[in-house]
Amino acid sequence: MRDAQPRTVYLKDYRVPDYLVDSTRLHFELQPKATLVKSQLQVRRNPEAGEGLPPLQLDGVELELLSVSIDGELVPASRYRELPEGLSIPVDKAEFTLEIHNRINPEENTSLEGLYLSNGMYCTQCEAEGFRKITYYPDRPDVMSKFTTTIVAPRQYPVLLSNGNEIERATTEDGRQVVTWEDPFAKPAYLFALVAGDLQHVEDRFTTASGREVKLQLFTEAKNIGKCEHAMRSLKKAMRWDEEVYGREYDLDIFMVVAVDHFNMGAMENKGLNIFNSACVLASPDTATDASFQRIEAIVAHEYFHNWSGNRVTCRDWFQLSLKEGFTVFRDAEFSADMNSRAVKRIEDVAMLRTAQFAEDAGPMAHPVRPDSYMEISNFYTLTIYEKGEEVVRMIHTLLGAAGFRKGSDLYFERHDGQAVTCEDFVKAMEDANGVDLGQFRRWYSQAGTPVLNVSDDFDAASGTYTLTVKQSCPATPGQEEKLPFHIPFALGLLDSDGNDLPLDAEGNTHKVLQVTEAEQQFRFAGLQEKPLPSLLRGFSAPVRVCYEYSLEQLQFLMRCDSDEFNRWDASQRLAFAALEKLQADFRNGDTLQLPAAVIESYRSVLQNRELDPALVAEMLALPSAQTLAEQAQTIDAEAIVAARDFARRELALALKDDLHACYLRLCNEREYSPSAADIAERSLKNTCLAYLAVTQAADAVALAEAQFAAAANMTDSAAALAALLNHAADDVAQAALQTFYDRWQGDTQVVELWFGLQSSSASWGTLGNVRALMQHPAFEMKNPNKVRAVIGGFANRNFTRFHDTDGSGFQFLAEQVIALDKLNPQIAARLVTPITRWKKYIPEMGEKMRAALQSVMDSGNLSRDLYEVVSKSLV
Ligand code: TRP
Ligand code: ZN
């Protein structure tokens, strides 16, 4: 375990590397407890780094150093210095070959960074700073080197993989296999990968636009070989899309994907050898839900797209992480939008951004898209870097238009191919290709916090002029008290009283992107007959909060008429939010709760609307989640949120039950499963109806869920029915369903994870007692992040009701688990603690209990750097 040295790294301290590594030869002799690593580096003084020959500083963590030689001569141990996290070697020539031998212990590696074992398979995870747990190296992304990798392993590991092309294969005298891989592209160490195991694979081919044949291989354990088809199809779609939309071809003759069960994140874009969390790549209709099918398509594309946005052009330093992540998330989101429903994809992404990223921006770990400092970089793989970073790239796309953006990306790839660059280089390429000035726009990279737009309007009937007044502000965030105005692309339309879009300029455009750049600004629209209704921030054109006083009638009107589907949904959310806010206030005042009939009727008309995409109907029907309500609240009163939301949900279910039932029956069909957008949309609406119906707890509703559970021919329907039973059926019915489900699927890792998650996130079933019991289940494994995320994360992040039990027991439980987990996997521990770091936003009684739980984590002592950073920054 690394200990908590409170060292902070600053962007302003960036210096070019003293030495470059032209080539890297690695030699692995794999053994569970003692893998021998030999590395041979061609080192050269960096001409840009200045005069003299400073000592060579290498990063290294938890390594057993065996020997160091330079140009074939052993360097005595007295000459070099072993540092707590590295090695310092004196240098007397500008070019030399450095050879290092060291040992590592993959079996004991539970951090899942570096080289580790997952179900008997060796695999690596090097981003961000995992390579230093393999061997001593200048482990920074601006040191790019050509890698050649030799793997020696016993026969139980027939598949031996690394980046690039296989160039040699042999057998040793004692019967071990020796395979050598060569990657012709220079890359930083974080993109290195190695896999060794008893794996099966499926294979396919792809012909690139210029006619090159690429071999595609997906490796898994034998039992999962039937779950590869969807990922393979997604990969080919992504390869084609990147050619068509960005003009980017794949560049090696082989592209490999490996599924592993133990993985800290979703997947990793290692050059030519992507490694995936099995949950993010394996799927079959009977075992994976629609949500996983779509997630897999998106993640496979995301990792593939990194080949250009990340690998060919990489990051200069980790402060630039969003350069590759924001851009690549934007690319994968557009890909998903093109493959499925654009509006629904946007709604899902914005709902997540508003709930989780806005909360991050308002919390103790708030940071800009390009942070100024960090203690542990693993803590900065955040929603801000990924999702807000995506929004920033999307705004550039909006400002330049699709063609202008493409000119910019072409220039970016051309200018920087093979380089390690900065966010600034990206923006500069966009500017230069389009002859525009994005000077003020750059503040999106440097200022944290979610801007607020206060919008008011005025209509002068005499002149027919409509005036919008837009005021922007941004709350203070840690280390940034004052903010300067952002450059905000503010898309809008104006509706007449028939619901038609009004022309906004002389050319008759009905959609306009206003350039909001000042703290306060006015925009005028002339020649109008009547006061229009504004449809603001269409398509969510910027990651901001918009405040405008809509009446209930106006929101109903937008829900019905807005030509922007995103804003139809947004109106439904505003309407629900207003109603739920009132219910919360009534609850706190001890008044009787009542859901206005007008609210119920707007939901009824959404439900009866047969013209809208059923997936959009489902999104509009769903009440904002408790987490979303918490994020939007000034002060979080969890009890009031739960009471208000449960009440509204039940009122809607009771009032609409006939419509819900009719809609449910209409959408039941016997078609064979397909993860097409159209079919997913129908299942989504059908199961939304089922969930509402179950809320009534009426015997016929429960019977419907039981029938669907018994007959389900795919996992989407099966899991939805099980969730309905868990949440609303009698205990014995729920218990029986859980048992049936487990008996059937206990051999399937992904389904068991789903089964864990359904229980721990259920308000009725996921009591703290049951969650503790799940942790005793034989299939639970504290060393497996997916299991931890399913059981502990399901409870802390997705079971708002039970986690916020007023006695504070949920917070203490989380603290306890975080402390235990930190000893095994610091990255996961530091992520898991998040819910209790937001204590300041809660009503004092609850906030104090959260803070106490957080303090107990701090007091447990000896925290990893990861956990220390998050906890210490949250306690101030
Ligand atoms: N680069 C990966 C992605 O976004 C992220 C990633 C995978 C990662 N595994 C990691 C980041 C482990 C930190 C640690 O596609
Ligand atoms: Zn990524």
pLDDT digits (tens, 9 = 90+) for 162-191: 999 999 999 999 999 999 999 999 999 999
Residue to probe by mutation, ligand 1, list 265, 305, 786, most atoms within 8 Å of CB: 265
How many whole angstroms from 328 Cα to the centroid of ligand 2? Answer: 6
Paired with 65 in beta bridges are 102
Distance 127 CA to ligand 1 centre (A): 6
- Ligand nearest to the Cα of 324, by number: 2
Tell which CATH architecture fits domain 323-460+474-521: Orthogonal Bundle (1.10)
CA distance 215 to 212: 10
Q: How many other C-beta atoms can be found within 10 angstroms of the C-beta atom of residue 872?
A: 16
Q: pLDDT tens-digit profile of 716-774? A: 999 999 999 999 999 999 999 999 999 999 999 999 999 999 999 999 999 999 999 99
- pLDDT at 4 (0 to 100): 44
Q: Does domain 199-307 have CATH number 3.40.50.300?
A: no
The angle that helices 677-695 and 699-711 make with each other, rounded to 10 degrees, is 140
Which strands form 56-59's sheet, in the order they lie side by side? Answer: 56-59, 86-89, 81-83
Taking the centre of ligand 2 as the mean of its atom positions, its distance from the CA of residue 220, in whole angstroms, is 22
Dist. CA 509 → ligand 1 center (Å): 42
Is 679 a pocket residue for ligand 1 (Cβ < 6 Å)?
no
Report whether residue 866 contacts ligand 1, using a CB cutoff of 6 Å: no
The type of residue at 11 is L
Instruction: Tell which one of 258, 264, 268 to mutate to probe ligand 1, the residue whose CB is within 8 A of the most ligand atoms.
Output: 268
At residue 1 the predicted structure's pLDDT band, cuts being 50, 70 and 90, is: very low
The share of the chain scoring above pLDDT 90, in percent, equals 99
Task: Give ranges for CATH 1.10.390.10 in the chain.
Answer: 323-460+474-521
User: What is the whole-number distance in angstroms between the Cα of residue 334 and the centre of ligand 2?
Assistant: 15
CB 231 within 8 A of CB 282: yes
Is there an atom of ligand 1 within 6 Å of 380 CB?
no
Rounded distance between C-alpha atoms, residue 321 and residue 141, angstroms: 10
Residue nearest to atom 5 of ligand 1 (CA): 268
Candidate of 125, 190, 324, 831 to mutate for ligand 1, largest count of ligand atoms within 8 Å of Cβ = 125
Q: Where do the CATH 2.60.40.1730 domains begin and end in the chain?
A: 1-108+125-195
CB 580 less than 6 A from any atom of ligand 1: no
The residue whose C-alpha atom lies closest to atom 14 belonging to ligand 1 is 127
Task: Establish whether residue 381 lines the binding site of ligand 1, counting it when its CB lies within 6 angstroms of any ligand atom.
Answer: yes
Which residue's alpha carbon is nearest to atom 15 within ligand 1? 268
Instruction: Give 23's strand partners.
Output: 42, 146
What is the DSSP annotation of 291-352? HHHHHHHHHHHHHHHTTTBTTTBEESSGGGHHHHHHHHHHHHHHHHHHHS-HHHHHHHHHHH
Q: Is 268 in the pocket of ligand 1 (CB under 6 A)?
A: yes
Distance (angstroms) between ligand 2 centre and the Cα of 188 equals 15
List, for residues 615-660, the tens digit of each pLDDT value: 999 999 999 999 999 999 999 999 999 999 999 999 999 999 999 9
SS3 713: coil
Q: Are strands 420-421 and 314-315 parallel, antiparallel or unpaired?
A: parallel
- φ, ψ (nearest 5 deg) of residue 233: -65, -40
Answer CATH for 556-875 from 3.40.30.10, 1.25.50.10, 2.60.40.10, 3.40.50.720:
1.25.50.10
- Cβ of 127 below 6 Å from ligand 1: yes
Nearest CA to ligand 1 atom 2: 268
Task: Compute, in angstroms, the gap from residue 272 CA to the centroid of ligand 2.
Answer: 15
Asked if residue 159 has its Cβ within 6 Å of ligand 1, the reply is no
**In the chain, ranges of CATH 3.30.2010.30 domains:** 199-307
pTM score: 0.98
Q: Residues 50-64: what's their mean pLDDT?
A: 97
Look at the block and give the residue holding tokens 């329907």: 717
Question: Which CATH number fits the domain 1-108+125-195, given the four candidates 3.90.1310.10, 3.10.130.10, 3.40.640.10, 2.60.40.1730?
Answer: 2.60.40.1730
Q: Which two tokens stand for residue 110?
A: 């539970």
Residue with tokens 């013209």: 611
Instruction: Using the mean position of ligand 2's atoms as its centre, give its distance from the Cα of residue 260 in Å.
Output: 17
**Mean pLDDT in the chain?**
98
Tell me the ligand closest to 193's alpha carbon. Answer: 1
pLDDT exceeds 90 at position 2 = no
Q: Which residues, including other chains, have CB under 8 Å from residue 73's CB and lie 6 or more apart?
A: none
> How far apart, in whole angstroms, are the C-alpha atoms of residue 283 and residue 183?
30
Ligand 1 atom closest to 377 (CA): 13
37 in ligand 1 pocket by Cβ < 6 Å?
A: no
Most distant pair of Cα atoms in the chain: their distance: 96
**Whether the CB of 303 sits within 6 Å of ligand 1:** yes
Q: Is 264 in the pocket of ligand 1 (CB under 6 A)?
A: yes
- C-beta contacts of 581-585 below 8 A and 24+ residues apart: 581/644, 583/643, 583/644, 583/647, 583/648, 584/629, 584/633, 584/637, 584/640, 584/641, 584/643, 584/644
In the beta sheet, which residues pair with residue 522? 469
* For residues 206-219, average pLDDT: 99
128 lines ligand 1 (CB under 6 A): yes
- Before 128, cis peptide (omega within 30)? yes
**Of the listed 99, 269, 303, 334, which one is catalytic?**
303
Q: What is the SS3 assignment for 420? A: strand
Mutation to probe ligand 1, out of 112, 264, 273 (largest number of atoms < 8 A from CB): 264
The token pair at 339 is 């493959």
**Contact criterion met (CB below 8 Å) for 685 and 607:** no
CB 606 within 8 A of CB 621: yes
In Å, how far are 39, 76, 127, 364 from 388, measured between CA atoms? 39, 50, 21, 17
Whole-number Cα distances in Å, 16 to 144, 310, 446: 12, 19, 22
303/309 Cα distance (integer angstroms): 10
129 CB near ligand 1 (under 6 Å): no
User: Which residues of the chain are in CATH 1.25.50.10 domains?
Assistant: 556-875
Helix (H, G, I), strand (E, B), or coil: what is residue 233? helix
Q: How far is the CA of 268 from the centre of ligand 1 (A)?
A: 5
Q: What's the pLDDT at 6?
A: 78
- Quote the CA–CA distance of 631 and 648 in Å, as a whole number: 19
Mean pLDDT of 208-225: 98
Which residue's CA is minimally distant from atom 11 of ligand 1?
A: 127
For ligand 1, atom 3, the nearest C-alpha belongs to 268
Ligand nearest to the CA of 276: 1
Has residue 43 got a pLDDT over 50? yes
Task: Please report which ligand is nearest the Cα atom of 123.
Answer: 1
User: What would the two tokens of residue 776 be?
Assistant: 């005793």
Q: Which ligand is nearest to the CA of 266?
A: 1
Phi and psi torsions of 37, nearest 5°: -115, 125
The length of the chain in residues reads 876
Nearest-CA residue for ligand 1 atom 7 is 268
Is the beta carbon of 378 within 6 A of some atom in ligand 1? yes
**Cβ of 361 below 6 Å from ligand 1:** no
Residue 530 among the catalytic residues: no
Range 838-847 burial, b when 16+ CB lie within 10 A, else e = bbebbeeebb
Determine how many CB atoms are found less than 10 A away from the CB of residue 816: 15
- Strands 146-153 and 177-182, sheet pairing: antiparallel
Q: Are 664 and 686 contacting, i.e. CB atoms less than 8 angstroms apart? A: yes
* CB of 269 closer than 6 angstroms to any ligand 1 atom: yes
Ligand 2 geometric centre to CA of 720 (Å): 30
**Contact criterion met (CB below 8 Å) for 29 and 179:** no
- Give the closest residue to 386 by CA, choosing from 304, 469, 266: 266
- The confidence band for 5, taking pLDDT boundaries of 50, 70 and 90, is low
Ligand closest to CA 381: 1
pLDDT digits (tens, 9 = 90+) for 488-533: 999 999 999 999 999 999 899 999 999 999 999 999 999 999 999 9
Contact status, residue 186 vs residue 271, Cβ threshold 8 Å: no
Of 221, 426, 241, 226, nearest to 325 by C-alpha is 426
Distance linking the first and last C-alpha atoms of the chain: 25
Q: Point out the ligand 1 atom lying closest to the alpha carbon of residue 112.
A: 12
The CA 229 to ligand 2 mean position distance, Å, reads 22
The three-class DSSP label of residue 182 is strand
Distance (Å, whole) CA 799 – CA 665: 29
Amino acid, res. 391: E
Residue 124 Cβ < 6 Å to ligand 1: no
Query: How many Cα atoms within 13 Å fall on the side-chain side of residue 250?
Result: 30
Relative to the alpha carbon of 331, which ligand is closest?
2
What is the chain's alpha carbon radius of gyration, rounded to the nearest angstrom? 28
Choose which residue among 381, 385, 386, 831 to substitute to test ligand 1 binding: the one with the highest number of ligand atoms within 8 A of its C-beta: 381
- Tell me how far the alpha carbon of residue 259 lies from the centroid of ligand 1, in angstroms: 14
| Residue 325 Cβ contacting ligand 1 at under 6 Å | yes
Lowest-pLDDT range of 4-18, 312-326, 564-578: 4-18
Using alpha carbons, list the distances in angstroms from residue 20 to 71, 87, 274.
16, 16, 26
